[in-house]
Amino acid sequence: MILLFVESWWWVAPAAAGAGAATYAGVTARGRRARRLELDAARRELSLAYHALILARVRVREAQANVLSARAVSGSSALGDALMGTPATVEARRQLQEAKRSEKAAVMTLRAGRARVKATTAQYHAASSADPLPIEKLFATQDAVVARWMAYETDDAKAIAYPQLSDTRYPATLAFFRAYREAQRLRPASARDRIPPEQFLEYRDAVRTLEAAFDEAERQAGAAESRPAPRTSIWPVPAWRPLRLPTSD
C-alpha cells in the first residue's frame, strides 16, 4: 500500500519545489526589473537622443542643399549672396542656421544623455534592496509637492496669508493644478506594476513639471521665502491620497 502511494504521488514534491522556484524566480526578476527601471529609461532616452541627432544632421544637409539650389537659381555667387541675397536665398540661409542650431542642441542632449546613463548605472550598482525603487522615489516627490500645497490649505495662518495658492484665477496656480492632474494621470497604480521605460520617462517629466509649477506658484504668491529648507531625504512618505482640487468657479 505504501509503495502504491509513493508511486502515485512521487511527482508532488518535485512539482511543488519547481513551482516554488519559479515563483521565487519571477518575484526576483520583477524586483530587478523594477530597480533597473531608471537605468532602462535613461538608456531609452539616450537612444532617442541619438536618433534625434541623426535627424538633425540630415536636416542640416538638406538645408545646405537648399542654399546651393537657391544660389543656382538666382545665379549669384557665395559672396554676392552674402551681400545681396534674393528672398529665396535669404530664407534658405535662415533655415540652414536654424538647422545648425538644432544640430548643436541635439549634440548637447546626446552628451547629457550619456552622462545620465553613466550616473544612473553607478547608482543602480550601488543601490541595495533596502533603498526605495526609482518609481517609489517619484511617488515620494509627487507626494511631497502635494504635502507642500496642503500646508497652505490646512494651516489657517498660511491660508489667510497666501490665498493665491488656492485660487485658480491666478495663472501660476492654475498651471500647478494642471500639472498635478497630468502627473496624477501618468502615475502608475503601484510600484510593483510592470512599467515600461517610456511610461517612466513621461511620469518623471510630469513630476518635474509639477515641482517647477508649484515653485513658481509659491514665488508669485510671495510664499517661497516662508517655506523651510527641504529635508535631505523625503523617504518614507505618508500614505498617498488624491488631491482634492478647488474649482475654478
Task: Please state, in angstroms and rounded to a whole number, the distance separating the CA atoms of residues 249 and 245.
Answer: 12
Q: Residue 149 corresponds to which cell in the numbers above?
A: 500645497
Higher pLDDT, 88 or 23: 88
**Domain regions of the chain by residue span:** 37-126, 134-226
Task: Please state, in angstroms and rounded to a whole number, the distance separating the CA atoms of residues 80 and 99.
Answer: 22
For the CA atoms of 207, 213, 215, 217, the dihedral, rounded to the nearest 10 degrees, stands at -150
Q: Residue 190 corresponds to which cell in the numbers above?
A: 503601484
CA distances to 10, 19, 190, 210 from 6, in Å? 5, 20, 44, 64
- At 71-125, the pLDDT tens digits run 888 765 555 555 456 888 888 889 999 999 999 999 999 999 999 999 999 999 9
Q: What does the chain come to in residues?
A: 249
Tell whether pTM > 0.85. Answer: no
Task: Please state, in angstroms and rounded to a whole number, the distance separating the CA atoms of residues 92 and 82.
Answer: 12
